[in-house]
Amino acid sequence: MDAASIGWLALPLAILGGAIRVSTPFIFVSIGELITEKSGRINLGLEGTLMLGAMAGYGISYLSGSPWLGVLSAGLAGMAFGLLHGLLCSVKRVNDTAIGISLIVLGTGLAFFLGKPLIEPKAPPLPSIALGFWSSVPQVRAALDVNALFFVGIALAFAVYVFLNRTGWGLMLRTVGDSEEAARALGFPVLRVRIIATMAGGFLAGVGGSFLSLSYPGSWSEGLSSGQGIMAVALVIFARWRSINALGASLLFGGAGALGPALQGIGVTGYYYLFNAAPYVLTLAIMVASTSRAAPFADAPGELKLHR
């Protein structure tokens, strides 16, 4: 069987492959954001964390020769940023939205500055698992060449589900995010829980960032992220603060993001930029739909104060 004979099937295959690839950072960032929001805070700074993670992951992988060490240090860099956000927001009358936006600027700025020497060298990339080994069709093999982090992400979504619903700590996190008054009455350390939740969210966003630079084609550049960190916030709302939903939503966003390149791949080059805008249009549509005045909004953690 040769490549030409699969005809129009190339399109869904390209979208599938693209969806898996593009969705991976979304999975990590959105689940990280979900954990943070469940504690009653919004961290808008994950876009900055993402870039910092991409840079740190690439740099450490290059210096140490181990991409997994790169992933870990990307997570730690993100965690440090989460700690910064968590601490700053614990000061009275500091607004988490404003801190988040300043962290976007700080994170991307820091990543660009420290990443200058990383543009040239080649760091070892993350391994991928060739699930398409059974097929001789190159498009199938390309689509099913799945990065290992994708599977970590899927496992993560289920682990977070169990954590939030079946562990005492998970219930404590939800209590803190839903009603600060209740949490205080129960004697929970509200600030500590929020800081730890923001750090966990930062760690995952950092890991998501390392995927950007360490997966195929594997390079560091300043244009790596195209707003995934910001879109993750919309994604969490769309997922109604449920981790399994967040996984599905990430795949949907990934598919939308892969639409443009996939169409280009089969030769449809018209409207390339229009199709590339699909994830942004989706974000906008979701924000409009989920802030409707009439729709019930019972799933949002109470302390986010999203009502009104």
Partner 1 sequence: MSVPQVELKNMTKRFGANLALNNVSLPIRSGTVHALLGENGAGKSTLVKCLVGFYHPDEGHIQVDGREHRLNSPKDADALGIGMVYQHFTLVPSMTVAQNLVVSSATLPAYINWQSELKRLARVTRKLPFHVPLDVRVSQLSAGEKQKAEIVKQLYLGRKLLILDEPTSVLTPAEADEVLGHVRSLTRTGALSAILISHKFREVRRFADDVTVLRRGASVRTGAVADLTDDALAEAMIGEPVSKMVQHAPKLPPKPNVVLSIRDLCANGDNGLPAVKDLSLEVRAGEIVGIAGVSGNGQLELVEAMMGQRDRNGTIAVSGSSFNGTRKEIARLGVYGLPQEPLKNACIDRMSLAENLALRNFDRVPLCRGIAMNYRALAEQAERLVAQFRVKAPGLNASMSALSGGNVQRAVLARELTQDVRLLVASNPTFGLDFVACEETYRRILEARNGGAAVLLISEDLDELLGLVDRLLVMSGGRIVHEVSAEGADKRVIGKYMAGMKAA
**Residue 227 in 3-state DSSP?**
coil
Distance of alpha carbon 261 from alpha carbon 288, whole angstroms = 27
Q: Comparing C-alpha atoms, which of 234, 257, 258, 238 is closest to residue 248?
A: 238
Beta bridge partners of 129: 146
Query: Judged by CB under 8 A, does residue 244 bind partner 1?
Result: no
Distance of alpha carbon 195 from alpha carbon 99, whole angstroms = 14
Select the residue interacting with partner 1 from 97, 116, 297, 305 (CB under 8 A).
297
Q: How far is the CB of 243 from partner 1 (least distance, A)?
A: 15
Q: How far is the CB of 289 from partner 1 (least distance, A)?
A: 13
Distance of alpha carbon 83 from alpha carbon 202, whole angstroms = 8
Place of tokens 């939308």: 256
Select the residue interacting with partner 1 from 95, 136, 167, 221 (CB under 8 A).
167
Select the residue interacting with partner 1 from 179, 264, 276, 290 (CB under 8 A).
179
Tokens linked to 245: 């939903």
Closest CB to partner 1 among residues 147, 175: 175
Does residue 178 contact residue 307 with C-beta atoms inside 8 Å? Answer: no
DSSP calls for 33-65: HHHHHHTT---TTHHHHHHHHHHHHHHHHHHHS
Closest CB to partner 1 among residues 1, 294: 294
Query: Judged by CB under 8 A, does residue 307 bind partner 1?
Result: yes
Q: How far is the CB of 172 from partner 1 (least distance, A)?
A: 6
Q: How far is the CB of 168 from partner 1 (least distance, A)?
A: 3
Q: Comparing C-alpha atoms, which of 295, 300, 81, 288 is closest to residue 205?
A: 81
Q: How far is the CB of 160 from partner 1 (least distance, A)?
A: 15
Distance of alpha carbon 175 from alpha carbon 120, whole angstroms = 48
Sign of the alpha-carbon torsion through 160, 165, 168, 170: positive
| Segment interacting with partner 1, rule: CB under 8 A, options 1-9, 94-102, 152-160, 296-304 | 296-304
Query: Judged by CB under 8 A, does residue 85 bind partner 1?
Result: no
| Segment interacting with partner 1, rule: CB under 8 A, options 15-23, 75-83, 172-180, 205-213 | 172-180
Select the residue interacting with partner 1 from 172, 191, 266, 277 (CB under 8 A).
172
What is the distance of C-alpha 176 from the center of its chain? 23
Select the residue interacting with partner 1 from 2, 8, 113, 187 (CB under 8 A).
187
Select the residue interacting with partner 1 from 97, 129, 135, 181 (CB under 8 A).
181
Q: How far is the CB of 306 from partner 1 (least distance, A)?
A: 11
| Segment interacting with partner 1, rule: CB under 8 A, options 51-59, 60-68, 102-110, 300-308 | 300-308
Q: Comparing C-alpha atoms, which of 140, 114, 97 is closest to residue 56?
A: 114
List of residues contacting partner 1 (CB under 8 A): 166-169, 171-172, 174-175, 178-179, 181-182, 184-187, 293-299, 301-302, 307-308
